[in-house]
Amino acid sequence: PQEWPGKGFIMSFEELQLAAPIQKAIKTCGYTEPTPIQAKSIPEVLSGRDVIASAQTGTGKTAAFMLPMLERLSTMKKGPKGAPRVLVLTPTRELAAQITDATRNYGKYLKIRSSVILGGSSYVPQFRDLGRSIDLVVGTPGRLIDHLERGSLDLSRLEVLILDEADRMLDMGFKADMEKITAAAPTERQTLMFTATMDRTMENLARKLLNNPVRVEVAGKRVTHDKIAQHLHVADDVRHKKKLLRHLIDDRKLTRAIVFSATKRGADRIAKELSADGHRAAALHGDMSQAARNKTVKNLRDGRIRLLVATDVAARGLDVNGISHVINFDLPQVAEDYVHRIGRTGRAGASGVAISLCNAGEDAIRLRQIERYIGHNLPQQVIEGLEPNRSLQKSEPKSKQGRSRSQNRNGGRSQGNKTHGNNRNKENRGGFKGKRSAGPKKKSGIEVVYR
């Protein structure tokens, strides 16, 4: 491993003195400077240390681990069959596919033998790839274990293990699989763990799997979404939600949206109904074949689809630019997923809109968890003619200060900085400007939007 004088941040890619083909690829990608996660992690990864990094998708975390991996792989001869030097473990097939794409871009001027080993895909190319000398494997836990057990994958020569979105792998029940895989790798390996959240569970996992790791955190643990206008609509029932959805997607500013559904069947149903209404809509969920999912994502990317109705798992790691709106038709089960979801919009400096539809009754607790997690309340909007009969605060207990939810819901904030909240409100209004005949009207602290 290389020594890095005065370890820590780097300011430019040149400082890293990566192999010329990698530098050339970085230029081809159009990257002019490292993102914060890259500036902080790449020197540490190159130095050979274990790293635990909290970073969300969209921060450039893939290059943060892949560039130093390519540097490592650029310098060695052929190894034995089916025994990769680097393994990237990911929770979902989509994320694996994205890492593979990124690797192809970053490694385009290198000869790296890599393979992607995913569940739900044919074994034939996997056996073929693993039957040869291989440098890098990207895969999901289940199928990798399958290959380990069949003897087609050998991890005894692994140099670096990367756990991407480790928190998500835990959420998805892959803990035992992760441990099995790490147990099959040499103890003196380098381990890199990337996670969107850093809580006690993650700390414990890191303690188990990593050796004296360097911690890397990029500013704002829960990524602030300054550029994303967030608000919510209260709905009486599913029919009401559908009416709201129909209204919301008529917004001309909505160029490309992801509509989140709690279930696969729900996603299918909504996509079907929207298509029947003449919208360019499609579903994305785990029951679809890999080929169908790839095609759908491509259609979204290419603009053939305007509305993607997805489940959390399917949309995880989805990296499509130009998503103008995220609509939570169903609130996420887990507060963190709210942040993952809305992070699909407002990418690459663009602004975005995140709208949550919330059931007046049963969603109140979930909403409160989300608001606590993000550190501020979601301002409520009401569309004239589509007002809810029930109000959210009725089903909620009084807060500690004895203040009712409605007083606290004026787009106000329970904590955090004020400017941020004000900006958000401004953005909210901007997002709906075209729909209004007059300026914003306040109705008991709720912003009214005209149809």
Residues near ligand AMP, by CB under 6 A: 31, 34-35, 38, 57-63, 319
Smallest separation (angstroms) from ligand AMP to the CB of 432: 29
User: Between 55 and 382, whose beta carbon lies closer to ligand AMP?
Assistant: 55
Joined together, the tokens standing for residue 378 give: 């979601």
Joined together, the tokens standing for residue 284 give 């994305």
Show the tokens assigned to 359: 């059931």
**CA nearest 114: which of 143, 85, 154?**
85
Which one, 60 or 411, has the nearer CB to ligand AMP? Answer: 60
Name which of 12, 7, 89 is nearest 49 in CA terms: 7
Q: Toward ligand AMP, which CB reaches closer, 266 or 343?
A: 343
The minimum distance between CB 35 and ligand AMP, in angstroms, equals 5
Q: Please state the closest distance from residue 225 (CB atom) to ligand AMP, in A.
A: 15
Residue 88 host element (H or E): strand 86-89
Cβ 74 to ligand AMP shortest distance, Å? 19
Whole-angstrom Cα distance, residue 223 to residue 218?
8
Contact 412, 421 (CB under 8 A): yes
Sheet containing strand 257-260, strands side by side: 228-235, 352-359, 325-328, 257-260, 307-310, 281-284
Give the integer Cα–Cα distance in Å for 226 and 417. 11
Give residues with Cβ within 8 angstroms of 227, minimum separation 6.
346, 349, 350, 351, 352
In our burial notation (b when 16+ CB lie closer than 10 A, e otherwise), range 301-326 reads eeeebbbbbbbbbbbbbbbbeebbbb
Q: Taking the complex as a whole, how short is the minimal distance between the CB of residue 56 and ligand AMP, in angstroms?
A: 7
In the bound complex, what is the minimum distance in angstroms from residue 246's beta carbon to ligand AMP?
A: 32
Q: Dig out the tokens for 229 from the structure.
A: 């206008």
Nearer to ligand AMP (CB atom), residue 35 or residue 395: 35
Nearest residue (CB) to ligand AMP, 31 versus 123:
31
Smallest distance from ligand AMP to CB 210, Å: 21
